Amino acid sequence: MYGLISDWRSSGLAQKVFCSQHKVPVSVLKYWIRKQKPGPSHTNGASVPRSAFIPIEVAPQALPLKSFPIKLHCPNGVVLEVCPLMPKGQLRALIQMY
């Protein structure tokens, strides 16, 4: 449905006219437009799916890696606190559990 939203936006048509031409109820188009809107983010206005991780940059010499854990706040309220040296595979498996 996100492709249909993109088509509607690039068409320049009113929602009602576009939906009539594509045989889609206006309520369905509006639902998917609301669903696509990202929540508050720090991506300088870029559209980010709600389930996506936002990439961050870490200055390698800012602090010694062993001095602090990394906290990941999951959308369901779970907070994961991990060692910065944890292998990517283990971190990925841990995140997928939540």
Q: Could you report the per-residue pLDDT of 36-72, keeping only the tens digit for each? A: 776 554 445 555 556 667 777 766 665 555 567 888 8
Q: What is the pLDDT of residue 62?
A: 56
pLDDT at position 17: 92
More confident residue, 75 or 58: 75
Among the ranges given (9-23, 54-68, 69-83), the one the predictor scored with the smallest mean pLDDT: 54-68
Instruction: Please tell me the predicted confidence (pLDDT) of residue 69.
Output: 82
What's the confidence (pLDDT) of residue 19?
92
What is 43-91 written as a DSSP string? STT----TTPPPP----TTSS-GGG--EEEE-TTS-EEEE-TTS-HHHH
As a whole number of angstroms, the distance between CA 16 and CA 1 comes to 16
Please report which confidence band the pLDDT of residue 21 belongs to, taking 50, 70 and 90 as the band edges: very high
Those residues whose C-beta lies under 8 Å from the C-beta of residue 79, and which sit 6 or more positions away, are 71, 72, 73
Mean pLDDT, the chain, as a whole number? 77
